[in-house]
Structure 1
Amino acid sequence: MAVELSDPISIRLPRDVLAAVEQVAKAADRSRSWVLVHALRRYLMTEGADILAVVEGRAQIANGDAHDMDDVLDDIERIIRKPADVA
């Protein structure tokens, strides 16, 4: 079984945030590090992922890999208004 490696970092936290982290750690019988890693992973899966998706979308637009929304809506309107083929 592989051991997951980690790098130590220093971080300054507001006292109220640190107090909340310590409360959760004590209540969950976990370390402060575990609580912070758990919180950061959840952030990265939600808001962090949204930020990266925006960056990727902007890169796609810059590379010309995008469609004008008005053109897309016009295409949808044409599809909706097209008479159905009658057999």
Structure 2
Amino acid sequence: MAGSTITVRTDPEIAAQIAFLAQAMDRSRNWVIEEALRQYIQAQSWQLEGIKQAQASLDRGEGIPFEAVMEDMDALIEQTAHTREP
């Protein structure tokens, strides 16, 4: 499969770390960079999808009002404070 070429300027320390990883894993620097990009894109896509789903949930009115959350938190804090008192 033919790939696309992307040029990136990076800090010399990052370049050295990429070279170190490539040598330690017996892989090319290109492989290390592509794997890092793949993992980053996967993580960001997962987070963006979660945000999108949460926003859709709020749009459908499925959220919990802030005041209700704070009331629950206050009750939990008070309950915890009473169970820790001597």
TM range (shorter): 0.5 to 0.7
**Runs of 4+ displaced beyond 3 Å:** none
**Do residues 7 (structure 1) and 7 (structure 2) align?**
no
- Equivalent in 39, 45, 49 of residue 46 of structure 2: 49
- Equivalent in 56, 62, 75 of residue 60 of structure 1: 56
Q: Which moved more, 1:18-27 or 1:39-48?
A: 39-48
Aligned residue pairs: how many?
A: 66
Q: Which runs of 5+ in 1 are unaligned?
A: 74-87
Contact 2:57 2:63 in 1 (8 A): no
TM-score by length of 2: 0.58
> CA offsets per residue over residues 52-76 of structure 1, 9 Å max, x none?
432x2365258x3341214xx8xxx
Residue 30 of structure 1 corresponds to which residue in structure 2? 27
Identity %: 23
Identify, as 1 or 2, the structure richer in helix: 2
Contact 2:19 2:29 in 1 (8 A): yes
TM-score by length of 1: 0.58
Residue 80 of structure 1 corresponds to which residue in structure 2? none
Q: Which runs of 5+ in 2 are unaligned?
A: 69-86
